Amino acid sequence: MGLLRRLSNKVGTPGILIISFLTGLLCGKLIVMHYETTSFKPWEWDKPPVILNCYGSMLRPSYINKSVSYWQALGERILFIEYTPVKKLCRNKHKITPGFIKIYQASDVAFNSDSTMAYTMRKAGSVTGIIGANILIRPGTYTIKNLLTHELGHAFGYTHVKEPGHIMHPITEHMGDKFWIP
């Protein structure tokens, strides 16, 4: 007796459909993860995002402007920058808002290691591209050279490059201000 027939006898047709659906979801997730880890820029914004400072007044406009200008010189587009936190939009660090790149200060417990200074969460759709992104920065580390620029690179869809001097290098000490397509 075939495996499918034995399974069908035990769980019935609805059970087979559920198992098939879950298997399809898992395979799809694995394909997306492979795509993201093997592509330098797996996702792009369909429309220019708004950059929103949810970090607060300590993150001065000059830091944001310098980092945004870096990416604009490479062809990335934004709608505008909002320097003053908007309470309704900044309320939840873990909720990604469509059309926004939000920059937050996050407590030390939000990071998985002492060496992590910041990280970016982004949400993308296979048809729509990047939907939104949140950048979480450890308190006081936004002044580290190239850190915010690097994280904005993730928000614009770029992944890490393990070549010293590249802005997207994952280790701060090896990160530089250079950009090239690997």
The verdict on 77 and 10 lying in the same domain is no
Model pLDDT, residue 179? 95
Tokens 């990047």 correspond to: 130
Q: How deeply is 62 buried, as exposed, middle or buried, from its count of CB atoms within 10 A (0-12, 13-18, 19+)?
A: exposed
User: pTM of this prediction?
Assistant: 0.79
Could you tell me the residue range of the domain that residue 12 belongs to? 1-38
Q: Whole-angstrom Cα distance, residue 40 to residue 129?
A: 15
56 near 85, Cβ under 8 Å?
Answer: yes
CA distance 171 to 169: 6
CA 100-123-128 angle, to 5 degrees, is 85
In this prediction, the residues of the chain whose per-residue pLDDT falls under 50 are none
User: Is there a single domain that holds both residue 30 and residue 59?
Assistant: no
Same domain, 79 and 167: yes
E strand spans, 96-174 = 100-105, 118-125, 129-137
**Same domain (yes/no): 96, 18:** no
Phi, psi of 125 (to 5 degrees): -115, 150
**Does residue 44 form part of some domain?**
no
Residue 43 located in a structural domain: no
- The CA–CA distances, whole Å, from 120 to 10, 28, 52, 117, 144 equal 44, 22, 14, 11, 16
pLDDT, residue 33, reads: 55
Please enumerate in sequence order all residues whose Cβ is within 8 A of that of 43, keeping only pairs 6 or more positions apart, or say none: 36, 122, 124, 129, 130, 157
Please, what is the average pLDDT of the chain? 87
Q: Are 87 and 65 in a shared domain?
A: yes
pLDDT of amino acid 8: 63
